[in-house]
Amino acid sequence: MSDRPAILFVCLGNICRSPLAEAALRAAAARHGIGIEADSAGTGGWHVGEAPDLRAQDIALRHGIDISGYRARQLERADFDRFSHIVALDHDNLAVLKRLRPSGARAELSLLLDHVPGRSGQPVADPYYGASEGFAATWADVTAGAEGLLAKIAGLA
C-alpha cells in the first residue's frame, strides 16, 4: 500500500461512467503533476473483461485520452483496503458500497459530484441507454468531479 492517494471509481457495469471518471482523474493528475493511483470497477459483473462502451471511448478520444485498453472488472472486497477513496457515480452504487464495506476498511466513500461545489448529492447520469450526446454530458460531469476530488485530496482547494 502506497502513501499516495488511491482512488477507485464505481458504477454498475464499469464500461461507461467509471472508466471515464478514471480517465478524467488520471488526466487531471497529470496536468497538475500529482502522483495518484486510479482504477475503476463495477458493482455488477456483466461486462468483466470487456473494453469500455465505444461511445465512452469516442468521447475520451475527443479529449485526447485513449481508454480502449481499459477492461471492466467487478468490485472486490480487497478494494476497500487497497484504495483510500472509493467514489460512486450514483446513489444506488453508493448504497451497495456502504453495504459491502467491511468494518474497519480504510476507504472513504463518496459520490463523485459531492466534490463539485453546488452539486453535492447529485448522481452522474448513466448514458448507456441513451444517445451518444449523453456521453458528452457524462464527460463534463466526471471531469468536474475529478478536478474537485483531486483538489480535495491534494490540498489544491
Domain-embedded: residue 1: no
User: Which range of residues forms the domain containing residue 133?
Assistant: 6-154
CATH classification at residue 13: 3.40.50.2300
The per-residue pLDDT for 157 is 58
Confidence tier at 44 by pLDDT (50, 70, 90): very high
The answer on pLDDT for 154 being more than 90 is no
Domain-embedded: residue 58: yes
Active site residues: 11, 17, 126
Residue 111 near residue 90 (C-beta atoms within 8 A): yes
Who contacts 48 (Cβ-Cβ below 8 Å, separation ≥6)? 14, 42, 72, 73, 74
The DSSP secondary-structure symbol of 122 reads P
**pLDDT, tens digit, for every residue of 71-117?**
999 999 999 999 999 999 999 999 999 999 999 999 999 999 999 99
> What is d(CA 74, CA 88) in angstroms, rounded to the nearest whole number?
13
- Hey, which residues does 39 pair with through a beta bridge? 8
> What is d(CA 145, CA 102) in angstroms, rounded to the nearest whole number?
26
The per-residue pLDDT for 36 is 95
Length of the chain: 157
